Amino acid sequence: MSTHRYAGLLLALLATQSVAAQSDPAGQGLSGFTGFLTGGYQDARADVEYGKLVRGEAQALPRLMTLARQGNPQAQNSIGVFLDRGKYGLAKNPALAARYFHAASRSDPLAAYNLGLLYLLGRGVEQNEDAAMTYMRQAVAKQRIPQACVRIGLDHYRRKEISEAKQWFREAAQDNDPVGAYYVGRMLVEDKRDYREAMTWLDKAAGRRNADAARLIAYLYENGLGMDKHLELAAGWTLIHMVLSQKGPALNLPHISLFGLAEDRMQKARAFTTMWLGSHPGGVLPDYVARWSI
């Protein structure tokens, strides 16, 4: 059994003596699951007015609202987003936002996704998971929205419909969605069959700041699953998990012992963590509970 490629990076660090001094509490890999979608306009008028509005032209809002009243689905979706968030001078009104999303949902897949989220959250409408999934599926039938694929996958996962869940998570992962990639890797680990492929997906997810993926990679190294057991790397990935779970960008590696490692071995783990974080600078996680507008 061979050690994962990160072991080579750790050894290179040690050879040069380069030693340096988004999770969801339910463990579901949903860190950052808080945003609605805006964008993908098919109508240039709504696109133009939205652009003017975000650049500070207040008079673009009434023009965008006029387009929405005239039945423009992209404008309706944007007004729904503003109402749900209470943006651009509009009072927060999720119930009215739901009406705008509903009006646009047949034509605009992003509006269908947003309406599905409101039903999932019970925000502005009575909570109804079946209705939520109906609108999510309506959205992805017209446009592959990775966040919707993740939500549908989670619904199957919770229902123990494993084959369907895997399909939807892979759909999301193939669009570089970190939560989709995390769940593809997690389910491979749960299958106890292909740990190497699991590592590939978890590595991709961690590279996009998914803290849960880093935690699971640490578990694989700790137990020698799909690779040689490597406690320094297990500790390094545990530290990466800790940093990715922080709300702020600051790198603050705790000087603690993990897995019973002596301080010299923990120095190696911290060296690896510093190297990995330096080569994977902070990015913005996809927002899975936000309404979409551009």
- Residue 244: give its domain's CATH number: 1.25.40.10
**Does residue 94 lie in a domain region?**
no
Backbone angles phi, psi at 292, to 5 degrees: -90, 135
pLDDT value for 19: 27
The DSSP symbol for 9 reads H
Which amino acid is it at 198?
A: A
Q: Residue 81 belongs to what H/E stretch?
A: helix 73-85
Residue 60 has a CB neighbour count (10 Å cut-off) of 18
Residue 96 has a CB neighbour count (10 Å cut-off) of 16
Please write the tens of the pLDDT for every residue from 16-64: 322 222 223 233 444 434 455 555 445 688 889 988 988 999 999 999 9
Q: What 3-state class would DSSP assign to 291?
A: strand
Q: How confident is the model at residue 286 (pLDDT cuts 50, 70, 90)?
A: low
Q: Per-residue pLDDT averaged across 161-188, rounded?
A: 94
Q: Per-residue pLDDT averaged across 81-102, rounded?
A: 93
pLDDT value for 207: 93
**Does residue 37 lie in a domain region?**
yes
Please give the tally of structural domains in the chain: 1
**Does residue 58 lie in a domain region?**
no
**Does residue 101 lie in a domain region?**
no
**Higher per-residue confidence, 146 vs 9:** 146
Q: Which residues contact 290 (CB under 8 A, 6 or more apart)?
A: 34, 35, 36, 37
**Does residue 54 lie in a domain region?**
no
CA distance readout (Å), 206 to 33, 122, 163, 213, 238: 16, 31, 24, 5, 12
Residues in the chain: 294
pLDDT value for 253: 63
DSSP 15-52: HTT-------TTSSS-TT---EEE---S-HHHHHHHHH
d(CA 286, CA 231) in angstroms, rounded, equals 31
**Does residue 83 lie in a domain region?**
no
Which residues sit opposite 36 in a β-bridge? Answer: 290
Please write the tens of the pLDDT for every residue from 176-219: 899 999 999 999 999 988 999 999 999 999 999 999 999 999 99
Number of Cα atoms under 13 Å in the Cβ half of residue 235:
24
**Does residue 27 lie in a domain region?**
yes
**Does residue 88 lie in a domain region?**
no
Q: How confident is the model at residue 166 (pLDDT cuts 50, 70, 90)?
A: very high
d(CA 168, CA 183) in angstroms, rounded, equals 10
d(CA 81, CA 90) in angstroms, rounded, equals 10
Q: What is the pTM of this model?
A: 0.77
pLDDT value for 5: 56
- Parent domain of 243: 6-42+108-292
Q: How confident is the model at residue 278 (pLDDT cuts 50, 70, 90)?
A: confident
